[in-house]
Amino acid sequence: SQQGEEDPQALSIQEGENATMNCSYKTSINNLQWYRQNSGRGLVHLILIRSNEREKHSGRLRVTLDTSKKSSSLLITASRAADTASYFCATDHDYKLSFGAGTTVTVRA
Amino acid sequence: ETGVTQSPTHLIKTRGQQVTLRCSSQSGHNTVSWYQQALGQGPQFIFQYYREEENGRGNFPPRFSGLQFPNYSSELNVNALELDDSALYLCASSPHLAGGDEQYFGPGTRLTVT
């Protein structure tokens, strides 16, 4: 079973716009991580936020975590065509990662 | 590109056969995890190895088994293949077992069972 659920399932935006996706989870976590996957290939780690953190930035990425609501959001600012990919949240509990089904983001030129 | 490699890239097997998938972890990493990703789904945790010992297993039957070698590379073996085993198999390594590390994923092995 999958711990996390991303919302929306799919997102289409114009180049230069921001993209926001959300993740909800069910159990307590050590940290929450976001990964990107291009065309069914390996996953690339984007950002990790620990359970005692509320917000984290990395370049054009901004992640928030609300442990009281068991939810997280990923914001990609000033999107580019190269950001077209599937994005997954993964909760780290007892050293194992549990992934959601992902959000597919398409950035139109 | 991570330093994690997997072989083979693609594989086609017949139902009932057995398959072995291989993974070389990134240098300095002693923990390897295996995931199964069905089409359109997120990766599902199969099991994890830490210093050659299994350190946890997901909801997969015993016909999914693994090994980790002294150089921390790893194998995933699947016996009595079923059609539903068709998926992308991903391995990921991390520096140590302590929680809070990102995992470094390989490019995956695409297994098709006919």
A96/B33 touch (CB, cutoff 8 Å), yes or no: yes
A42/B41 touch (CB, cutoff 8 Å), yes or no: no
Q: Are B49 and B103 in contact (CB under 8 A)?
A: no
pLDDT, tens only, A47-101: 999 999 999 999 999 999 999 999 999 999 999 999 999 999 999 877 788 999 9
- Copy the structure tokens of residue B67: 């090994």
pLDDT averaged per 10 residues in sequence order, chain B, 114 residues? 91 98 92 94 94 92 96 96 98 76 92 98
Contact with chain B for residue A65, Cβ under 8 A: no
Q: How many residue contacts between A and B have a Cβ separation below 8 Å?
A: 73
Closest CA relative to residue A103, chosen from A24, A2, A9: A9
Q: Can you tell me the mean pLDDT for A24-40?
A: 91
pLDDT at residue A39 tops 90:
no
Instruction: Give the pLDDT score at A3.
Output: 67
Options 3.30.1490.20, 3.30.420.40, 3.10.20.600, 2.60.40.10; which CATH number does A5-108 get?
A: 2.60.40.10
Instruction: Give the pLDDT score at A40.
Output: 73
Instruction: Give the pLDDT score at B98.
Output: 54
Phi, psi of B84 (to 5 degrees): -70, -10
As a dihedral over the C-alpha atoms of residue B49, residue B52, residue B55, residue B59, rounded to 10 degrees, the angle is 60
Q: Beta strand pairing status for B10-13 and B109-113?
A: parallel
For residue A99, the distance in angstroms to the closest alpha carbon of chain B comes to 6
What residues pair up with A105 in beta bridges, in sequence order? A11, A85
Q: B11, exposed or middle or buried, with CB in 10 Å at 0-12, 13-18, 19+?
A: middle
Instruction: Give the pLDDT score at A1.
Output: 46
Closest CA relative to residue B92, chosen from B42, B46, B38: B46
Break chain A into its structural domains and give their ranges.
5-108
Q: B20, exposed or middle or buried, with CB in 10 Å at 0-12, 13-18, 19+?
A: middle
Q: Are B67 and B53 in contact (CB under 8 A)?
A: no
Per DSSP, the three-state class of A83 is: helix
AA letter at B56: G
A42/B58 touch (CB, cutoff 8 Å), yes or no: no
Mean pLDDT of chain A: 92
Instruction: Give the pLDDT score at A92.
Output: 85
Residues 6+ apart with CB under 8 A from A7: A21, A22, A23, A24, A103
Instruction: Give the pLDDT score at B97.
Output: 62
Instruction: Give the pLDDT score at A23.
Output: 95
Mean pLDDT of chain B: 93
Contact with chain B for residue A91, Cβ under 8 A: no
The string of DSSP letters for A5-60 reads: EEE-SEEEEETTS-EEEEEE--S--SEEEEEEESTT--EEEEEEEETT-SEEEETT
